[in-house]
Amino acid sequence: MNQDYIGNVIKKIRKENGLTQEKFALKYNVTYQAVSKWERGKSIPDINILKAICDDYNLDINELLQLNSKKNKKNKTIFIFITIIIILIIFCAFLIIKKDSNDFNFKTLFTNCDDFKLFGTIAYSESKTSIYISNITYCGDKNNTKYKSIKCTLYETNGDVQTKIDSYDYKEEITLEDFLKNVKFNIEHYSKTCKMYLENALHIEIEAIDINGKTTFYKIPLMLDNC
């Protein structure tokens, strides 16, 4: 503990409260010579007097005795170490992403269906493919029908084989337009690579059931430039 620091604190609070050394000494039943020694860092009050001073002037005794200094120093060292590790991880991730991004090509997905528009991309490399589709909008006749259940599914077709890639469904009353605002497909590391896709192999199917139990189907073919 730092006797000079404790002495300076005692001197400061004594003067801020307009007390002489004699009056401060009388308050804690010691001599003014003892107070003088405290303030000059020659000695410190015993623990009971020190606690009373802290209680009277709203001080933290641990902070006054600097008991947390070693702990704070240790915490600071740990924080710096963790920060350095995080920076290194971010830097390595950036290098990996940068390397991978150099190997990727991008193609745009679109539809020639007059009733729907969408934004989509395929990012592909020799080893993996990612598919992203969003902003699907209905452009057909005004449809205010409330559906109790709607399901939107992304498929890949190869000959007679139809493979489900991903789906999004909603089971509360909603219109088709409001439903489509929330539909997004974000498929990372899809098992096929772009060069294995057949032209127009992807499509979206929408199955909507209204409150009377009537089912309406929509099919949205997706176009993709040759990879």
SS3 track for the chain: CCHHHHHHHHHHHHHHCCCCHHHHHHHCCCCHHHHHHHHCCCCCCCHHHHHHHHHHCCCCHHHHCCCCHHHHHHHHHHHHHHHHHHHHHHHHHHHHHHHHHHHCEEEEEECCCCCEEEEEEEEECCCCEEEEEEEEEECCCCCCCCEEEEEEEEEEEECCEEEEEEEEEECCCECHHHHHCCCCEEEEEECCCHHHCCCCCEEEEEEEEECCCCEEEEEEECEECCC
Q: What is the pLDDT of residue 74?
A: 59
Same domain flag for 19 and 127: no
Position 39 pLDDT exceeds 80: yes
Same domain flag for 212 and 133: yes
Q: Which two tokens stand for residue 19?
A: 């007390």
Average pLDDT of span 121-147: 83
Position 221 pLDDT exceeds 50: yes
Q: What is the pLDDT of residue 191?
A: 65
Q: What is the mean pLDDT of the chain?
A: 82
Q: What is the CATH number of the domain that holds 171?
A: 2.60.40
Same domain flag for 44 and 132: no
Position 206 pLDDT exceeds 50: yes
pLDDT tens-digit series, residues 87-97: 888 877 766 66
Position 99 pLDDT exceeds 60: no
Q: What is the CATH number of the domain that holds 36?
A: 1.10.260.40
pLDDT tens-digit series, residues 15-36: 999 999 999 999 999 999 999 9
182 belongs to a structural domain? yes
139 belongs to a structural domain? yes
Same domain flag for 145 and 208: yes
41 belongs to a structural domain? yes
Same domain flag for 195 and 136: yes
Average pLDDT of span 171-187: 90
Question: For a pLDDT cut of 70, what percent of the chain falls above it?
Answer: 83
Q: What is the pLDDT of residue 226?
A: 55
Same domain flag for 124 and 213: yes
Same domain flag for 109 and 91: no
25 belongs to a structural domain? yes
Same domain flag for 22 and 131: no
Q: What is the pLDDT of residue 153?
A: 95
Q: What is the pLDDT of residue 144?
A: 87
Q: What is the pLDDT of residue 68?
A: 44
Position 104 pLDDT exceeds 70: no
Q: How confident is the model at residue 98 (pLDDT cuts 50, 70, 90)?
A: low
70 belongs to a structural domain? no
* Final residue before a domain boundary, out of 37, 64, 91: 64
Q: How confident is the model at residue 121 (pLDDT cuts 50, 70, 90)?
A: confident
Same domain flag for 58 and 97: no
Same domain flag for 153 and 189: yes
Range of the structural domain that residue 197 is part of:
105-224
Compute the distance between CA of residue 140 and CA of residue 115 in angstroms, rounded to an integer: 4
Position 175 pLDDT exceeds 90: yes
69 belongs to a structural domain? no
163 belongs to a structural domain? yes
Same domain flag for 117 and 98: no
Average pLDDT of span 64-78: 59
Q: Domain total for the chain?
A: 3
* Final residue before a domain boundary, out of 15, 36, 64: 64
116 belongs to a structural domain? yes
Q: What is the pLDDT of residue 154?
A: 93
Q: What is the pLDDT of residue 227?
A: 46
Same domain flag for 43 and 84: no
Q: What is the pLDDT of residue 63?
A: 73
